[in-house]
Chain A
Amino acid sequence: MVDTSVVLCGETLANPIIPASGTFGYGREFARFYDLNCLGSFALKGTTEAARFGNPTPRIADAPCGVLNSVGLQSPGVDAVIAEELPNIPRIFAGKVMANICGFSVGEYVRVAEKFDACPQIGWLEVNVSCPNVHGGGMGFGTTPQGAAEVTRAVRRAVKKPLIVKLTPNVTDICEIARACEAEGADGLSLINTVLAMRIDLNSRRPVLGTGTGGLSGPAVFPLAVRMVWQVYEAVGIPIVGMGGVRSAADALELMLAGATAVGVGAANLVDPYAARDIALGLPSEMEKYNITDLKSIIGGAHNG
């Protein structure tokens, strides 16, 4: 009998598999396919203060071994999420779920975080610092150590629940940003968000996505995620939720060896609604294959020696 449990910022998970924000809605669609209690937890769709449509369509496109999206934070707004979605969570999942918080100003991050902090269904507050700062020339908060630190500091002071900062890979040195978040009191980090990318339609000779550029996710970015989780694990002492192109239990083990405590599953959910379930249920046999009895014991295991 193997032990798949892990502890993420003080909360024990039956296993490390957490469907990633933006690929799992609020769980409803997937609960029609399977019992979500086979998962460690799941992350809710990114939530802003006010309702947003997001970016113009087309905002999703195929890529070799991946998907481009420019959905741009469609959200019903935090009050609607709390009123309409959170009451449904206990009906589909017995554990706590991860809120994902987006903001276009430090004040917005704080106000959304404070509201989720008061919700018993929420176990962690994942703060997406990839949003553009409307007061900072539109540059993403998470692209500088100062911007990421400013959001982390403000949210940390305002909330009690564990704070996980979701980092963008579109930076020169992700370790510098990870350290800045840790220094301001982040309890954990999640990475990687999508990689800035583009495709062009040969017939129209225009970008495929309505916004021109978008974020690439899926197996195409998996080695990039492994590299960044590895680097950040060496840079900080707080737990990491590793994600980026995971599509099998073996991929999850690989990210854990790189340093992930929990593992996000994103694009795979969009292709196969059962993907996260199959990865979670596949962990014990994959562990036995590599003589792993306690999953916790392999976190960062590739760094030893």
Chain B
Amino acid sequence: MNKGIFTVISNEQLIPGVHRLRLRGDTSGVTAPGQFADVLIPGCFLRRPFSVCGAEDGVLTLCVRNSGRGTALLTASAPGTELDILTGLGNGFDLADAGERPLLLGGGTGFPPLHPLCAALLALGAHPMAVLGCPSAGSAPYLDEFRALGVEPLVYTLDGSLGETGLPTQALHSLDYTSVYACGPLPMLSAIDRESESPHVQLSLEARMGCGFGACMGCTVQTISGPRRVCKDGPVFRKGEIIW
């Protein structure tokens, strides 16, 4: 967990409404893929949490969906803008039980945060498979970034305009995998929790947060072992843990 000042070095639109921000600063606080960063946006009181999509060589990558006042301000940040960011928040993914063929399943903007996980799994010698679910061909982020790692994403679109037609959870029944790592909307995560046959399932939850480091109890979810904070005890939870 680190608090530091980051400078926006680039801000590009990936798909309509989703921007990739690259920020220069001290990334040493990021210790695992699947952690998040909490950004103090000038004009907002509370910080806003975003999954980390890359933290290498002092460059932090965040993909931000413009979905409200705070993200509208953030996605309008010009290069040179300085932002106060907490990094290394949350538990992140555990790579220990990934096995030979981990299945990485992302829904929409939940797909880019799986990119550093994919790279880490490759470095361990695993053969990860990447599956993206999104509404249509025009809303499919990060395909080339996964290809650059040598992993061709399997895409599911609701309208069939790219890849398979339907939901990405269909891949749970057609692919042969040793573990599942997922990031995306809660209905997708609960479906994976129900439908996956692997015991090694890790789900990265999204939640409205207050502080991002465990103090305010704003993002609590009910689990089989009692109330847990998405920001501090998560955001990654195991199969069967969440009471949906």
**Residues of chain A whose beta carbon lies under 8 Å from any beta carbon of chain B:** 22-25, 28-30, 32-33, 45, 51, 53-54, 57-67, 69, 71, 74, 76, 218-219, 267, 269-274
Contact = CB atoms under 8 A, between A and B. Distances in A.
A57 B214 contact: no
B18 interface: no
Contact of B217 (A66, A71, A272): A71
Per CB-CB distance, the 7 closest pairs between chain A and chain B, nearest first, are A60-B218, A270-B211, A60-B210, A29-B214, A58-B208, A74-B217, A62-B46
Interface stretch (B143-151, B156-164, B220-228): B220-228
B216 A271 contact: no
B216 A71 contact: yes
| Central interface residue in B210, B217, B222, B226, by most chain A CB within 10 Å | B217
A33 B1 contact: yes
Nearest to B211: A270
User: Which interface class (under 10, 10 to 19, 20 to 34, 35 or more) fits B?
Assistant: 20 to 34
A285 to B, nearest CB: 21
A243 B215 CA distance: 18
Contacts of B213: 29, 273
A44 to B, nearest CB: 12
B153 interface: no
A53 B227 contact: yes
B207 interface: yes
B118 interface: no
Contact of B226 (A32, A51, A267): A51
A30 B215 contact: yes
Nearest to B210: A60
Interface of B: 1, 3, 40, 44-47, 69-70, 84, 86, 207-211, 213-222, 226-227, 232
Contacts of B70: 62
26 contacts: A23-B216, A24-B215, A25-B214, A25-B215, A29-B215, A29-B232, A33-B3, A51-B226, A53-B220, A57-B208, A57-B218, A62-B46, A62-B70, A64-B45, A67-B46, A71-B220, A74-B220, A74-B227, A267-B45, A271-B45, A271-B46, A271-B47, A272-B3, A272-B84, A273-B86, A273-B213
A60 B216 contact: yes
A274 B1 CA distance: 12
A24 B47 CA distance: 16
B74 to A, nearest CB: 13
Contacts of A45: 217
Contacts of A58: 208, 218
Given A60-B219, A74-B227, A271-B45, A67 B207 contact: no
B48 to A, nearest CB: 9
B66 to A, nearest CB: 13
Contacts of A76: 226
Contact of A273 (B3, B45, B208, B217): B3
A67 B1 contact: no
A54 B86 contact: no
B220 A57 contact: yes
Contacts of B45: 62-67, 218-219, 267, 271
Nearest to A201: B68
A58 B3 CA distance: 26
B210 A69 contact: yes
B218 to A, nearest CB: 3
